[in-house]
Amino acid sequence: MIQQVEKLKEIINQNSMGHLPLPYRVDLMKQISDICIVQKVLCECCKKVCSCFPKEYDTENPLYSVLSEIDSYLYKNKGTAESISVSGERLCNYAEQSIESCEDMAGWAIIALGYAIRNDAASILEIEDYNGEDDNAFDFESWNADFICSIAYSGSNPFMEIGNAEKRKEYWLWYLDMVLSMCEKSNTPYTMIKPTPKKSQNQISIPKRTQSWQIENVSNQIQQLVHALIEATDKQTKDWNKIVLSYTFISASYMNITCCREEEVQKITLCQSIENLIHNSLFHIHKDMYLQAPKEGAWMQCCITIEKGNSYDISFNYDDITSISDIFNNPDWLIGAFEDYPRSKEYTPQWLRKIIERRKLYLT
């Protein structure tokens, strides 16, 4: 293996683009043959380029979270290939639509790595009808993470423009040293990954909002909604102390209604006409509050708690993604919601800024 690596270093040094052609990498990975080691090699490539963009790929970045999940799967035997596949698929469209820079290419490499985890690295070990072609013979959706990372690291595709050949050479020489190390110590990460927090916390201070439900048109809608909820609940049971409505609206909506008596919680099922009425009311409350001060953004979640005697309390969640169901934590949905209800940057929490990134969506 050492002799082969030295020969490959000569090939890189002699290549005018500083490129290590795909046939040599395929042969090298097939000699390794161990699927897990090959996957770790591709994972190390992603960690290498993400470390070049620390501001973009910090622990708040959703793609970096997937990379962390993959790293734990490969080195700590945590998680499953299926869960990684779900995470990758959820972010695939988001990553593909935002490829405009080297930083974005690093994100696409993580998506390619996810495919390699799901498909046992078949994209480099079992290329269909492969006859020794180089990377430029394939569409970018089929590129391997190692090649995508070389583009992110060097700043260009070697087959479209030479770019920084020295940086590309530096990357591929690093790659060979890393491969050699992984073959000798496959259970030891070549690069340590930054730990991701279990709960993403907002790291910037959001100004106090002025939007209010206590203006006439909104408060009237809420009172009608509360009356409809009490009436619908009383038809199912009069033995309740509290009714709780939780409503989430991020591109799609979800509503959950329960009534409580002491420790007992019962789900309330509404007839279609009442459910439509409440959904329609909440949609208009959401819109009317946003229009009071668009720069402050639109709330993602509303919780109404009704006590016996018709008193009620209302809370709105504009910024805390950790209290939202994971099904809504989808970058495509979050960007879509931001496009429908844009806010100024000062009212945008850190985690959402990472998803919006360089898109020109902020209100000024």
Interval 253-270: pLDDT, tens: 999 999 988 778 888 888
Q: Are 213 and 314 in contact (CB under 8 A)?
A: yes
State how far the Cα of 195 lies from the Cα of 16, in Å rounded to an integer: 38
pLDDT band at 357 (very low <50, low <70, confident <90, very high): confident
pLDDT per residue over 28-53, tens digit each? 999 999 999 999 999 999 999 999 99
What is the C-alpha to C-alpha distance for residues 223 and 176, in angstroms, rounded to an integer? Answer: 68
* Fold exhibited by the domain 216-356: 3.30.500
Considering 181-185, 196-200, 251-255, the range whose residues carry the highest mean pLDDT is 181-185
* pLDDT tens profile 297-330: 999 999 999 998 889 999 999 999 888 887 888 8
User: Do 233 and 268 form a contact (C-beta atoms < 8 A)?
Assistant: yes
The residue assigned the tokens 């992110």 is 152
- Average pLDDT for residues 136-142, to the nearest whole number? 90
Quick: pLDDT tens for 66-117.
Answer: 999 999 999 999 999 999 998 898 888 888 876 778 999 999 999 999 999 9
Which has the closest alpha carbon to 286: 211, 184, 362?
A: 211
Q: Where are the domains of the chain?
A: 2-184, 216-356
Per the CB < 8 A criterion, the answer to whether 351 and 321 are in contact is yes
Secondary structure (3-state) at 8:
helix
* Confidence band for 200, pLDDT divided at 50, 70 and 90: very low
pLDDT at residue number 106: 94
Residue 199 has pLDDT above 50, yes or no: no
Distance of CA 216 to the CA centre of its chain: 39
State residue 197's pLDDT score: 54
Q: Where are the alpha helices (DSSP H) in 162-215?
A: 165-184
- Whether residue 351 contacts residue 202, with contact meaning beta carbons closer than 8 Å, is answered with yes
Dump pLDDT digits (tens) for 225-257.
Answer: 999 999 999 988 888 999 999 999 998 899 999
Residue 161 pLDDT greater than 70, yes or no? yes
